[in-house]
Structure 1
Amino acid sequence: MNLLRKKNATFLVLLGSLFVTSCKDLTKLNENPNGVQPDVVNPNLVMPSVLTESAKAFVNLGFQDIAGVVQHTQKDAWFSGHNDYDWGGDQSWTTYYDILKNNDLVYQRAVAQNMEFQQGVALVMKSLMFGLVTDLWGDAPYTSALKGELGGTANVLPKYDDQQSVYTGILADLEKANTLLSKPKSAYSSIVESVDVFYAGDPTKWRKLANSLRLRYYMRISSKLPDVAKAGIEKIVSDAANNPVISEAADDATMAYVGNNAGDSWPSTTVYDVSGSNYRRIKMCTTLLKAMQPTSDPRLALWAKKVEIPLVVDASLPAGTDKIVNGVRYFSPDKVGSTPIDTDPNYVGLPPSVSQLPSAYNFNPTPGQTSYNPHVSYINEIYTKASGGILKARMVSAAEVHFILAEAALKGWAAGDAKTHYEQAIKASLTAWGVGGNYDAFIAQKGVAYDKTLEQIMTQKWIASWTNATEAWFDYRRTGLPALAAGPVAKRKALPLRFYYMRDEVNLNKTNAAAALDKLETTANSQSDGKNSAWSKTWLVQGTGKPW
């Protein structure tokens, strides 16, 4: 209310000044005395917004609904989008294009002022965000995007570039960034460490990020353009001195949350959420737990909370027994009947899309939107905090890089030794999560020790993508691994493949959107939606037979 009163007061002051100065040059009235005009702004002033908003965008996908898609987590309240892929057909890319618009300003001003470090950073961020857009939707405005202020139909209603062209442009920009960021830090005169929330103005680390993204996108297109992907990855590996990549967890592209308010805190924090619902409704998914428990994965205790009250079914108990004794709930078999029950004493996951009332799972005594289920594992309580420790946006990691190279080597490409990269990937992930000391025991276990299969590489990569589940989703589309299955009440009998183009875009940019839609391939799961379906196939997976 105070903010509203302040805005009203400001409006009255401005209105009064308009009457007083009505004879003056109106162009001067349009100048903001408290702001900076885009044509003179220093790119260092805009860069923090680009970096922080990009990092938050990745977490808002990979920790939220996409974590549900790849079955890292499930929700038991306000769950339909997370568990069941009920996305409503109106998924907006406005947030991503807003970030790209600000990033374009950083780049244009950096070019004008010959700031090569900022140019390189902007090209990396452009690639990261346009990569996300085409990964999520398919064809999208690229070469004609971000020009709306120029006016004209072609700029206001931009054409869509095909996916292949977008990936080609991304890879070219990343190669250019590699060159721009190749100098020592002392050679750049315009670096302000405090505005770079990823790497504190370290051009070498940004260069590693640029080349790691090149690996990501070469592998992304490997099913469609295998020769291009093979040559690109082999070029990077064969000339490591001029194409350094993220190889150690210390160089992961991360952003720590500040925790001063709801906007800069971890999204499930209860510090600024009085109800606690953002945390309370997220549960571990059975699929992830069943993959981690047999190997006593040391990351599990960091990510998940043990059940508060384990369940026990005891045939020796009298009929009708349902009681809690010493923190354990006991049932006689007749009380359970044919209802599914999970009696693991430590971790119990919520199965994917298990029912129309997932809060009732595992005999929760208080099902409903505001329930608290003591018989299912919540995510670790550290995720109730606003900041600190492991609460970081994680966009690209050494683990991902080594998994990519392990897969490339398994294909027979000149990318090093598959076993070595696989083991380095595991070690990097454990190190990043603070449990690197467990590596030797963990890697020696059956199921973790390298077995020369793509399934193992992709399964471990899927686990390591915790909180960055978008990468696991994109890998699943490309490989069909791990072999995830939709739950019984999911919107379709298979996992979705893309986001819907939003209705406003389809209606307003009709001609260009229609051309993009026409290139989508419908599937048995997309028929009821038509072309604009989450189950239609984009160019990236058409003709590959993947993931289903």
Structure 2
Amino acid sequence: MKKIIYIFLTALLFNLSACTDDFEKLNENPYQITDESLTQDFNNVGAFYPPMLKNLFGHQIEHNLSHDSWVRHLGTPTPFVGGINNTTYYIRWNTYWNRIYNSIMSPSAQVMKVAEAEGYPVFVEWAKLIRILGMSRLTAYHGPVIFTKFGQEPALYDSEPVLYNAFFTQLDEIQAVFNANMDYAGLAKFDASYGGDIEQWNRLVNSMRLRLAIRISKANPALAKTQGEKALSEPGGLIESNADNFMVSLYGDVFPPVTISFGWGDTRMSASMESILIGYKDPRVAKFFDPASDDTLYPDHPDYPYKGIRNGAVLVAKDDRLSFSNISSDFKSVENRRFFTAAEVKFLKAEAALRGWNGAGSAWENYEAGVNSSFEDWGAGSAAAYLADNTSLPLNYNDPKADPGPINDFVTRISNTVAWDDGASNEIKLEKIITQKWINAYTNSIEPWVDHRRTGYPKLPYNYKNDSSADWGVIPANEFLKRQVFVTSQRENNASSVAEATGFLGGPDLISTRLWWDTGSASNF
């Protein structure tokens, strides 16, 4: 049914965008969509929203062969472009920019204009919120982006401090309209996430404010604290239960990683997931991945029949590792994907508590509540024994397809257990929080990629194969890729603005240049 509605809405959107030079003749057709039918039940604006929401996520080259690999959630068995590509720190693909601008920013500008003219303020603010959802992800790639001056000529970039202030200001504006229209029912027909429930969207606004506040907590601690405490004290509340999770509908389509994994054979479990999940005896592993199809691959942990691929591995032939663990077959039947969960909110609150933010509660209680929420969300049973485990540690990794020898192997850098230690330092506590946040965010890896760069946690293995060079920037052997470069179309067609944006970065337009919130400080406190 959702697929039928989506197709119908897309058809409406096409008609809204089509040429109407011969409108009088078309209007004589009794089957033609009329002005009255378009405006009935908000169809003239609502049709824009499902495609915008759907495009918050990218596909193979935008996500799977980029930050899914960089943050060690999934690995590829395929030696793309001779084995020298994004996963080995040589940039071949860089297209998420186009998705966000073409499929979110441009149509949102259209629908906001129509909604303002029709007097639909809630639709205006809904579009603004979707813009922030998308642009907060895009800036995690590039740093400076075109936001407050979008649609102007020349297309000027915002520095990151300007951008985050704009996000917070617009969240205030969105929330004011939502608070004044809590009983508004106009979104329902077009909202596959919350069924038009403004109270639920308000929780997402507050949760986004907290996510962005934590993101900038090292770069601007005062602003982060102000905005974080505002999110924590808002009467509308946060996403606190899995019933409140913000899920983005697939609108009848197949979950993209299913196509990449089962259809193309281009993604598998990462070695880091194997190391951490199996080392911690984590039952979520069975919800994330299928067992390996070759039972000789895991002699060091025969009770856990899973095998992952090291990121940045030396790969000879794709067929060598197709027998490693696929993503879970359960994903073949999912109808939506996670964007923001109650578990993430609890981990955000746990970090906020470590930072002394009012209203955050107890770091310990939030940490354990986050793990419990994650286990519940993924259907992994009770987390009680897991949370009490103060001995298990992630495993060292061996690539059996590269034996004999140490090729693609690694020794884990993690020496922190799952069980909370209230007497430990804030760094050790934060490492526990961020490691669990990293696990929970499987299939939604942009935010853990942010967390890893800003905190250094989890302590993931470095790339085995590092093809970074002066072309895109050199990543030291004991470091990680820091960002995506500005896209070629911008470099060629908007060179002066890109030059200004590069100045905002405080370093060259390279993959080795840190973003604003990634301060490079060894201390997180």
- Identify the TM-score tier after normalising by the shorter chain: 0.7 to 0.9
Q: Indicate the residue corresponding to 1:134 in structure 2.
A: 139
Q: Indicate the residue corresponding to 2:212 in structure 1.
A: 217
CA deviations on 1:291-337 (whole Å, 9 max, x unpaired) are: 1113321211011122223228xxxxxxxxxxxxxxxxxxxxxxxxx
How big is the shift at 1:28? 3.0
Moved more, 131-140 or 460-469: 131-140
How big is the shift at 1:35? 7.6
Q: Indicate the residue corresponding to 1:405 in structure 2.
A: 349
Task: For residue 97 of structure 1, give the secondary structure of its aligned residue in structure 2.
Answer: helix
Task: For residue 49 of structure 1, give the secondary structure of its aligned residue in structure 2.
Answer: helix
Equivalent residues of 2:54, 2:250 under 8 A apart: no
Q: Indicate the residue corresponding to 1:100 in structure 2.
A: 105
How big is the shift at 1:538? 2.6
Q: Indicate the residue corresponding to 2:292 in structure 1.
A: 307
From 334, 337, 340, the equivalent of 1:393 is 337
Aligned length: 448
C-alpha separation between the residues in 2 aligned to 1:195 and 1:217?
27
Moved more, 136-145 or 58-67: 58-67
For the pair 1:537 / 2:514, whether they are aligned, the reply is yes
Distance 1:256 1:49, change over 3 A: closer
Q: Indicate the residue corresponding to 2:361 in structure 1.
A: 416
TM-score where L is the length of structure 1? 0.75
Equivalent residues of 1:91, 1:502 under 8 A apart: yes
Which runs of structure 2 are paired with 1:271-420 in the superposition (5 Å)?
A: 276-278=262-264, 280-311=265-296, 343-345=300-302, 346-357=305-316, 368-370=317-319, 373-374=322-323, 376-383=324-331, 385=332, 387-388=333-334, 392-414=336-358, 415-420=360-365
Q: Indicate the residue corresponding to 1:181 in structure 2.
A: 178
How big is the shift at 1:126? 1.4
Q: Indicate the residue corresponding to 2:163 in structure 1.
A: 166
Distance 1:445 1:92, change over 3 A: closer
For the pair 1:449 / 2:453, whether they are aligned, the reply is no
Distance 1:63 1:506, change over 3 A: closer
How big is the shift at 1:519? 3.3
C-alpha separation between the residues in 2 aligned to 1:201 and 1:86?
43
C-alpha separation between the residues in 1 aligned to 2:456 and 2:25?
53
Which one has the largest radius of gyration? Answer: 1
How big is the shift at 1:478? 0.9
Distance 1:144 1:224, change over 3 A: same
How big is the shift at 1:224? 1.0
Task: For residue 349 of structure 1, give the secondary structure of its aligned residue in structure 2.
Answer: coil
Distance 1:405 1:35, change over 3 A: same
C-alpha separation between the residues in 2 aligned to 1:78 and 1:351?
13
CA deviations on 1:255-302 (whole Å, 9 max, x unpaired) are: 24344xxxx2111335xx8x9543x23121121221111332121101
Task: Tell me the amino acid that sits aligned with residue 231 of structure 1.
Answer: T
C-alpha separation between the residues in 2 aligned to 1:392 and 1:288?
23
C-alpha separation between the residues in 1 aligned to 2:73 and 2:451?
14
C-alpha separation between the residues in 2 aligned to 1:108 and 1:66?
34
Task: For residue 311 of structure 1, give the secondary structure of its aligned residue in structure 2.
Answer: coil
Equivalent residues of 2:350, 2:433 under 8 A apart: yes
Task: For residue 201 of structure 1, give the secondary structure of its aligned residue in structure 2.
Answer: coil
TM-score where L is the length of structure 2? 0.78
Task: Tell me the amino acid that sits aligned with residue 249 of structure 1.
Answer: N
C-alpha separation between the residues in 2 aligned to 1:204 and 1:235?
17
From 188, 195, 205, the equivalent of 2:190 is 195
For the pair 1:144 / 2:149, whether they are aligned, the reply is yes
C-alpha separation between the residues in 1 aligned to 2:486 and 2:169?
26
For the pair 1:462 / 2:438, whether they are aligned, the reply is yes
Task: For residue 57 of structure 1, give the secondary structure of its aligned residue in structure 2.
Answer: coil
Task: Tell me the amino acid that sits aligned with residue 496 of structure 2.
Answer: T
Distance 1:92 1:509, change over 3 A: farther
Q: CA RMSD in A?
A: 2.9
C-alpha separation between the residues in 1 aligned to 2:20 and 2:290?
60
How big is the shift at 1:92? 5.3
Task: For residue 257 of structure 2, give the secondary structure of its aligned residue in structure 1.
Answer: coil
Distance 1:410 1:189, change over 3 A: closer
C-alpha separation between the residues in 2 aligned to 1:184 and 1:509?
41
Moved more, 465-474 or 74-83: 74-83
C-alpha separation between the residues in 1 aligned to 2:256 and 2:75?
16
Q: Indicate the residue corresponding to 1:266 in structure 2.
A: 255
Distance 1:63 1:197, change over 3 A: farther
How big is the shift at 1:408? 0.9
Distance 1:540 1:546, change over 3 A: farther
C-alpha separation between the residues in 1 aligned to 2:246 and 2:61?
16
Equivalent residues of 1:61, 1:468 under 8 A apart: no
Distance 1:195 1:546, change over 3 A: farther
Equivalent residues of 1:58, 1:393 under 8 A apart: no
Q: Indicate the residue corresponding to 1:338 in structure 2.
A: none
CA deviations on 1:212-256 (whole Å, 9 max, x unpaired) are: 00001111111111011112212332x342x41101111111124
C-alpha separation between the residues in 2 aligned to 1:485 and 1:32?
65
Q: Indicate the residue corresponding to 2:14 in structure 1.
A: none
Equivalent residues of 2:171, 2:209 under 8 A apart: yes
CA deviations on 1:164-219 (whole Å, 9 max, x unpaired) are: 1111111111122222222565x32523x231021110101100001100001111
Task: For residue 48 of structure 2, give the secondary structure of its aligned residue in structure 1.
Answer: helix
C-alpha separation between the residues in 1 aligned to 2:419 and 2:447?
23
Distance 1:454 1:543, change over 3 A: closer
From 126, 134, 143, the equivalent of 1:121 is 126
C-alpha separation between the residues in 2 aligned to 1:545 and 1:295?
26
C-alpha separation between the residues in 2 aligned to 1:73 and 1:281?
10
Name stretches of at least 5 consecutive residues in structure 1 with no aligned partner: 1-25, 148-154, 313-340, 358-367, 523-530
C-alpha separation between the residues in 2 aligned to 1:203 and 1:212?
14
Equivalent residues of 2:185, 2:196 under 8 A apart: no
